Amino acid sequence: METAVAPLPSEKYASIVVDANTGRVLYESNSRDARYPASLTKMMTLYMLFEALDDGRMTGETAIPVSAYAAARPPSKIGFRAGQSIDARSAILALCVRSANDVAVAVAEHLGGTEERFAAMMTAKARELGMRSTTFRNASGLPDAGQQTTAHDMAILSMALRKRFPHHYHYFANREFAYAGKVIRGHNDLLGRVNGVDGLKTGYIRASGFNLATSVGRGGKRIVAVVMGGDSAAIRNAHMEELIETYLPRASIAGAAG
């Protein structure tokens, strides 16, 4: 009998591993139970931003203004003052690498007029993608009891980002970026440490525990894995690594028959 990875002993825990070439679920635990996305939310904020770029509503140089409300968001953040702005390309990096809450709100206000309206747009997009159990209330993932998702839905979003935006996907692999004369480093410790990992996103609020969505490919095999509710970043990362090493070998090879 094949060994399965033991779930983490936390009531907040949920996980899923999906063969990204076929959509087949290789492993899941509590994957359809309601959870808080925390900063995994920003994957949808980025999805909406990528769409705006591809639709021609924005370019990489578009200046996104930072309102007083956006500037006042708690960390993680870049630290803008009200009235400053950030170019769209830097905004993407700030979301992918730094998980910047001030930038998430600035993007939301730029694309939706208000963060509330943008959250409704995010939820509508989630339904369009087949994420039936996700409701967004903000663009950042900051605590809101009404903002809920599942590991299953976050896997759908992770795969949609790569499939729909292969030309933007490289942003998720950045471990740091330079902005305004500073080097800003990220939170995703699996990048550059675990062979084949090329993105996506970390997340944490107290209510969610430590979350992580990961895409990894080796030798034509590719999986997307989501872990939610780790008790620490180290525990979450170790569990994710165990899922990768156990289930990536069981994934299909792209283009293989059968």
Domain assignments of the chain as residue spans, ordered by start: 14-250
- What does the pLDDT read at residue 2? 62
Give the residue carrying structure tokens 């165990």: 242
**H/E run at residue 229:** strand 221-230
- 31: cis peptide before it, omega within 30°? no
Could you tell me which residues are beta bridge partners of residue 213?
201, 226
Query: Is 227 a residue whose pLDDT tops 90?
Result: yes
Spatial strand order in the sheet of 14-19: 25-29, 14-19, 221-230, 209-218, 197-205
**Whether 99 is catalytic:** yes
Query: Quick one: pLDDT at residue 187?
Result: 85
15 assigned to active site: no
Q: How many C-beta neighbours within 10 Å does residue 253 have?
A: 12
pLDDT tens-digit readout, 115-153: 999 999 999 999 999 999 999 999 999 999 999 999 999
pLDDT digits (tens, 9 = 90+) for 49-68: 999 999 999 999 999 999 99
pLDDT band of residue 254 (cuts 50, 70, 90) is confident
- What pLDDT, on the 0 to 100 scale, is given for residue 1? 43
Task: Give me the percent of the chain exceeding a pLDDT of 70.
Answer: 98
In which band, very low, low, confident or very high, does the pLDDT at 189 lie, cut at 50, 70 and 90? very high
SS (H, E, C) 35-99: ECCHHHHHHHHHHHHHHHHHCCCCCCCCEEECCHHHHCCCCCCCCCCCCCEEEHHHHHHHHHHHC
Superfamily for the 14-250 domain: DD-peptidase/beta-lactamase superfamily (3.40.710.10)
Per residue in 64-101, pLDDT tens? 999 999 999 999 999 999 999 999 999 999 999 999 99
201 labelled binding-site residue? yes
Query: Which region holds residue 141: left if phi is over 0, alpha if psi is between -120 and 50, else beta?
Result: left
Backbone region of residue 180 per phi and psi (left: phi > 0; alpha: psi in -120 to 50; beta: other values): left
Active-site position among 31, 39, 90, 158: 39
> For all residues of the chain together, what is the average pLDDT?
96
Is 12 annotated as catalytic?
no
User: Which residue of the set 12, 31, 42, 215 is catalytic?
Assistant: 42
